[in-house]
């Protein structure tokens, strides 16, 4: 039987450059990260997703790669990477890395050679046109770029770029490019990674401007990648970033022979709509639109990650509802379709509500993802450009620079949040580790309990009817064991009637009753003679259901 470890992993994403600086140059590095592996293991994380750490001119936070076979010298060396991998493995932590192969950096030697010489063997590694079509709806960064084509003087032709013009798209239809991609994957698999996050996967399978390759051919490349990865390492996985409509999901999963996992963009957007409306039916509608996925496939559920909270799958009106609730000022929004804030500021730092949201994200069918700083309730810095607002350095302590680096503040890769309620003297790991009621200790508890309830990741799930429109209730069943979770999306307490569930069979395993900040709102013991369950405002309760005879 194949290992399905990814179905119940706790995934934690981080950017090496903003996590921990070990040598005082102001930039996080692999040695710094390695020193913090015990912290991550203690938190209960067992899978890291590292954002791109390759040499890069950093036009797009490292998503513009100059060399796929090395570590950016600012972050360390390949030797440091191998030592990090060894230490992570010792602690039972797997590592996924970003595979950014929809495009390279404009400074990649392949592109340099391709633009200089029509006869270069790299010319066809990219997509050229003498008569480019504007295709404005394909532009990934609409307020930053005005076309997906850029005329290049040296090349005497225009090249395709879905993202910044400094990120020319690779010609995935070219078998040589496909070979290069497999070689890159092979390299990192030998160094021990457990798989790849495939960046911009939905652009990889588009054949815009590519002569001779149909979209079907490109899709088949996803299968080749899967075969290759599995042949090299049976338990390695492919996690694709593909923000697509429900009918396109099968392109990525097919019969379970393409991607292992997909980011759940559909549910993420519907979740925020449900939160804005304080309405569980909106969330249910979202879950209903998800197609059935093969038994070996999995969703990766997230609240926020390193990009904007994109709301592009919603209608204009729905998007406006979310903006009004969580990002009312224009400077909080980006690209006309998203929000560039972290969760706590969006929720006015309402601890009860934030707990409920993470509890919900950890119980929804799939594997949960956290982003560095989520566990301590970090905020954002809207004075920074674009998506940088949510990419500030990790706050470790109340030492200068939040303990991230000993460099002078103006030498930091990005400023640490140093003012206001989210500033490092208020929000940091060291302080929260000492406070039993802290968000960090709550998060550790959440992770520990989620790991004890694999039913949420692998079980057969079912939404339950309740009499309360604000309460989302669902049950997950695996090998005869059942867990049940209730989440009150609203700011009003209520009492829920659950048909078919008898209280004597319920054992509460997690919930806001256990949260040390809810000391004044404890629930009464369940009343065995009734089938009602009370819920605090933004309450959440998980139960184990014992077998009914
Ligand atoms: C993905 C990344 C994003 C990046 C883009 C281009 O969407 O998450 O940060 O800008 O790809 O590589």
The 3-state secondary structure of 231-250 reads HHCCCCEEEECCCCCHHHHH
CA of 63, closest atom in ligand 1: 12
Q: Are 239 and 300 in contact (CB under 8 A)?
A: yes
Q: Is 100 in the pocket of ligand 1 (CB under 6 A)?
A: yes
| Catalytic residue (choose from 15, 241, 321, 355) | 241
**From the CA of 139, how far away is ligand 1's center (Å)?**
13
Give pTM, 2 decimals.
0.97
Q: Where are the beta strands (DSSP E) in 264-321?
A: 298-302, 309-310
Q: Is 36 left (phi over 0), alpha (psi -120 to 50) or beta?
A: alpha
CB atoms within 10 A of CB 127: 26
Pocket test for ligand 1, best of 53, 54, 60 (most atoms within 8 A of CB): 60
Question: Which of 426, 422, 402, 423 has the alpha carbon at shortest distance from 413?
Answer: 402
Expressed in angstroms, the distance from the first to the final Cα of the chain is 32
Q: How far is CA 110 from CA 39, 117, 218, 284, 340, in A?
A: 40, 11, 21, 47, 33
Residue 145 in contact with ligand 1 by CB distance below 6 A: no
Query: What is the rounded CA–CA span in Å between residue 453 and residue 459?
Result: 10
What is the C-alpha separation between 369 and 384, in angstroms, rounded?
A: 25
- Ligand 1 centre distance from Cα of residue 309 (Å): 13
Exactly one of 15, 21, 199, 381 is catalytic; name it: 199
Report whether residue 468 contacts ligand 1, using a CB cutoff of 6 Å: no
Look up tokens 């990648």; give the residue. 225
Q: For residues 274 and 285, what is the distance between their CA atoms, to the nearest angstrom?
A: 10
Token representation of residue 438? 């802290």
Instruction: Give pLDDT, residue 544.
Output: 96
- What's the 199 CA to ligand 1 centre distance in angstroms? 6
The candidate with the shortest Cα–Cα distance to 6, out of 267, 189, 237, is: 237
Q: Which atom of ligand 1 is nearest to the CA of 60?
A: 10
Best substitution site from 163, 202, 244 to test ligand 1's pocket, by max atoms within 8 Å of Cβ? Answer: 163
Q: Is 199 in the pocket of ligand 1 (CB under 6 A)?
A: yes
User: Contact at 8 Å (CB) between 113 and 122?
Assistant: yes
Q: Taking the CA atoms of the chain, what radius of gyration do you get in angstroms?
A: 24
The sheet with strand 471-478 has its strands ordered as: 460-464, 471-478, 481-488, 540-545, 506-511
pLDDT for 152-162, tens place per residue?
A: 999 999 999 99
- The Cα 332–Cα 323 span in angstroms is 9
Q: Active-site residue 38, yes or no?
A: no
Check pocket membership of 98 for ligand 1, CB cut-off 6 A: no
pLDDT of residue 65: 98
287 three-class SS: helix
190 flagged as catalytic: no
CB atoms near residue 214 (< 10 Å): 11
Q: What is the pLDDT of residue 508?
A: 94
Residue 281 host element (H or E): helix 280-289
The residues pairing with 262 across neighbouring beta strands, listed in sequence order, are 240, 299
206-248 residue pLDDT tens: 888 887 788 888 999 999 999 999 999 999 999 999 999 999 9
3-state DSSP call for residue 422?
A: coil
Nearest atom (ligand 1) to Cα of 103:
12
Low-confidence ranges of the chain (pLDDT < 50): none
- The CB of 63 under 6 Å from ligand 1? The reply is yes
Q: What spacing in Å lies between the alpha carbon of 499 and ligand 1's midpoint?
A: 45
Domains recognised in the chain with CATH numbers: 7-91+372-451 (3.20.20.80), 109-160 (3.90.400.10), 459-547 (2.60.40.1180)
304 CA distance to ligand 1 middle (Å) = 14
- Length of the chain in terms of residues written: 549
Give 50 Cα–ligand 1 centroid separation in angstroms: 13
150 forms beta bridges with 159
> What pLDDT score does 217 carry?
87
Q: Which of 268, 260, 266, 264 is nearest to 294 (CA)?
A: 260
Question: If DSSP states are collapsed to H, E and C, what string results for 403-438?
Answer: HCCCCCHHHCCCCCCCCCCCCCCCCCHHHHHHCCCC
Closest CA to 366 of 220, 491, 262: 262
- Name residue 433's beta-bridge partners: none
The whole-angstrom separation of Cα 70 and Cα 119 is: 28
Instruction: Please name which of 100, 96, 99 lies closest in space to residue 13, comparing C-alpha atoms.
Output: 96
**Residue 498, token pair as written in the block:** 């659950």
Residue closest via CA to ligand 1's atom 2 equals 199
State which ligand 1 atom lies nearest to the alpha carbon of 307. Answer: 9
- Separation CA 307–CA 386 (nearest Å): 9
For 426-458, what is each residue's pLDDT tens digit?
999 999 999 999 999 999 999 999 999 999 999
Is the shortest distance between the CB of 200 and ligand 1 below 6 Å? yes
CA gap 40, 43 in Å, rounded: 5
């Amino acid at each position: 039987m194949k290992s399905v470890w990814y179905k119940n992993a706790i995934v934690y994403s981080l950017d090496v450059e903003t996590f921990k600086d070990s040598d005082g140059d102001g930039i996080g590095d692999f040695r710094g990260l390695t020193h913090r592996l015990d912290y991550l293991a203690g938190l209960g994380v067992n899978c890291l997703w590292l954002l791109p750490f390759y040499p890069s001119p950093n036009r797009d936070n490292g998503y513009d790669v100059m060399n796929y076979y090395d570590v950016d010298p600012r972050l360390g060396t390949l030797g440091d990477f191998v030592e990090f991998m060894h230490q992570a493995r010792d602690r039972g932590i797997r590592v996924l890395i970003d595979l950014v192969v929809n495009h390279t950096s404009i400074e990649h030697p392949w592109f340099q050679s391709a633009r200089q010489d029509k006869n270069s063997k790299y010319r066809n590694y990219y997509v050229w046109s003498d008569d480019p079509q504007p295709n404005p709806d394909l532009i990934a960064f609409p307020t930053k770029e005005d076309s997906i084509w850029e005329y290049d003087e040296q090349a005497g032709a225009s090249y395709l770029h879905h993202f910044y013009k400094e990120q020319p798209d690779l010609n995935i239809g070219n078998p040589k490019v496909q070979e290069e991609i497999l070689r890159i994957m092979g390299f990192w698999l030998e160094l021990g990674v457990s798989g790849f996050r495939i960046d911009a996967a939905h652009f990889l399978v588009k054949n815009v401007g590519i002569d001779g390759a149909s979209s079907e051919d490109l899709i088949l490349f996803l299968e080749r990648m899967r075969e290759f990865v599995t042949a090299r390492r049976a338990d390695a996985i492919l996690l694709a970033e593909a923000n697509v409509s429900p009918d396109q999901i099968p392109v990525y999963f097919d019969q379970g022979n393409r991607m292992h996992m997909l980011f759940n963009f559909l549910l993420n957007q519907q979740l925020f709509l449900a939160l804005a409306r304080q309405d569980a039916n909106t969330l249910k509608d979202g879950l209903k639109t998800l197609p059935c996925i093969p038994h070996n496939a999995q969703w990766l559920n997230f609240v926020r990650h390193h990009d904007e909270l994109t709301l592009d799958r919603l209608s204009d009106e729905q998007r406006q509802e979310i903006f009004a609730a969580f990002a009312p000022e224009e400077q909080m929004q980006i690209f006309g379709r998203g929000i560039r804030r972290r969760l706590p500021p969006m929720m006015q730092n309402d601890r009860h509500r934030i707990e409920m949201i993470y509890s919900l994200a950890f119980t929804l069918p799939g594997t949960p993802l956290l982003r560095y700083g989520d566990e301590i309730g970090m905020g954002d810095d809207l004075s920074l450009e674009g998506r940088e607002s949510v990419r500030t350095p990790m706050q470790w302590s109340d030492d200068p620079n939040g303990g991230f680096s000993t460099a002078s503040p103006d030498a930091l890769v990005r400023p640490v949040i140093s003012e206001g309620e989210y500033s490092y003297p208020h929000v940091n790991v060291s302080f929260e580790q000492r406070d039993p009621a802290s968000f960090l200790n709550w998060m550790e508890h959440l992770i520990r309990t989620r790991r004890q309830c694999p039913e949420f990741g692998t079980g057969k799930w079912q939404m339950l009817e309740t009499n309360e429109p604000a309460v989302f209730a669902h049950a997950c069943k695996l090998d005869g064991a059942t867990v049940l979770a209730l989440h009150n999306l609203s700011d009003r307490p209520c009492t829920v009637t659950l048909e078919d569930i008898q209280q004597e069979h319920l054992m509460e395993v997690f919930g806001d009753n256990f949260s040390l900040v809810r000391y004044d709102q404890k629930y009464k013991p369940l009343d065995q003679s009734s089938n009602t369950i009370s819920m605090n405002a933004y309450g959440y309760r998980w139960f184990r259901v014992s077998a009914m005879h």
